[in-house]
Amino acid sequence: MDIRPLRIDGAFEITPRQFPDDRGVFAEGFRADRLAEAIGHELQVRQSNISVSSAGALRGIHFADVPPSQAKYVTATGGVFVDFVVDVRVGSPTFGQWDSVVLDTLDRRAVYLAEGIGHALACVEDGTAVYLCSEVFTPSIEHGINPLDPEVGLVLPDGFQPVISPKDAAAPTLAAAADAGLLPTLEACLAYTSSLAGVRR
């Protein structure tokens, strides 16, 4: 598989090799050893999420307090999605910026994002996305940024009509979240991910 760093430090695009034959296609969707080479530690999966979405669904921007936050490995098992990684880490040189990857069942790409990075998922064609997460969901430490915040400026696909949850619609802007002290710092994120090297749980 090919693992390519995205423009947000700590986020990667993973493209598996596919082996088609007359029975179908085989690909390695996740390799802990290969991912560890890129991120510096092994991703310990503690929760798997299955997200079934209709075209137009826009989920996020979500992030969690660090530590422990939630690193995520996201791929599509059906449909087409645009996966956004958003740098919400105060002190980061790319703070407020984002990158994106198209997830589908043609290229079968995945996205990895480290603890403290914001995440949003836009469903272009009805489908299902699967998340592997480093921690279980803990509502008390979860936060969001309004995905339509113009300061962040996510560029959605042409003709995309976003459908967002009431919770995401009520989420603060990036600036308001920063003013409220909700955002993680780059320093805390890097210290936590560094502490994971060599740790097995």
pLDDT tens digits in sequence order for the chain, 201 residues long: 999 999 999 999 999 999 999 999 999 999 999 999 999 999 999 999 999 999 999 999 999 999 999 999 999 999 999 999 999 999 999 999 999 999 999 999 999 999 999 999 999 999 999 999 999 999 999 999 999 999 999 999 999 999 999 999 999 999 999 999 999 999 999 999 999 986 554
pLDDT for the residue numbered 197: 87
Strand-pairing partners, residue 18, are 27
Q: What is the pLDDT of residue 201?
A: 44
Report pLDDT for 57.
98
Contact (CB, 8 A) for 27 and 19 = yes
Pick from 57, 51, 53, 60: nearest CA to 152: 60
Active site residue 131: yes
Catalytic residue of the set 112, 131, 143, 192: 131
Residue matched to tokens 């430090």:
9
SS3 category, 189: helix
CATH of domain 2-195: 2.60.120.10
Give residues with Cβ within 8 angstroms of 82, minimum separation 6.
100, 101, 102, 103, 121, 122, 124, 156, 157
The pair of three-digit structure tokens given for residue 41, joined into one six-digit string: 């530690």
36 φ/ψ angles, rounded to the nearest 5 degrees: -60, -35
Encoded tokens for 130: 């699967």
Q: What is the pLDDT of residue 198?
A: 62
Find the catalytic residue in 62, 73, 119, 143. 62
Say whether the peptide bond before residue 16 is cis (omega within 30 degrees of 0): no
Question: 3-state class of 146 per DSSP?
Answer: coil
pLDDT of residue 188: 97
Check if 62 is active-site.
yes
